[in-house]
């Protein structure tokens, strides 16, 4: 039964994930759909996502390097800290 569930407009392909919005500047924001694969997302991965959700889908660009990359980040991870230090 859970295989049949979606949020409309098509189901999201694995390993993409819906973002966790962050309350910032008076509203909830996100960087878009998040890539959760260990390896970098390929053009084919992005094409599959766009086929499922439409060409205007927003993608969290910081996640495209893959979770195994030290540079991996998401809008949520980049903005969930309340204490910031700028040098």
Q: Is residue 7 part of a domain?
A: no
Q: Is residue 87 part of a domain?
A: no
Residue 6 in any domain: the answer is no
Answer positive or negative: Cα dihedral of 44, 54, 19, 6: negative
Contact 65, 40 (CB under 8 A): yes
**Does residue 53 form part of some domain?**
yes
* pTM for the model: 0.74
Cα 77 from Cα 87, distance rounded (Å) = 20
Beta bridge partners of 22: 29
Backbone dihedral angles phi then psi of residue 12, each to the nearest 5 degrees: -85, 130
Helices (H), the chain: 43-53, 75-79
What's the total number of domains in the chain?
A: 1
Q: Note down pLDDT in tens along the chain; length 87 residues.
A: 444 444 455 689 999 999 988 888 888 988 899 999 999 999 999 999 999 999 999 999 999 999 999 999 888 777 765 433 333
Residue ranges making up the domain that contains 72: 14-79
Give a yes or no: residue 22 inside a domain: yes
Let me know if residue 75 belongs to a domain. Answer: yes
Phi then psi for 22, rounded to 5 degrees?
A: -115, 135
């Amino acid at each position: 039964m859970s295989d049949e569930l979606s949020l409309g407009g098509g189901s999201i392909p694995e390993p993409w994930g819906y973002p966790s919005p962050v309350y910032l500047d008076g509203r909830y924001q996100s960087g878009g759909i998040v890539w959760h694969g260990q390896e970098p997302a390929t053009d084919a991965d992005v094409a599959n996502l766009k086929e499922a959700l439409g060409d205007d889908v927003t993608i969290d660009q910081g996640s495209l390097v893959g979770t195994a990359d030290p540079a991996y980040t998401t809008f949520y991870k980049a903005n969930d800290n309340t204490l910031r230090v700028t040098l």
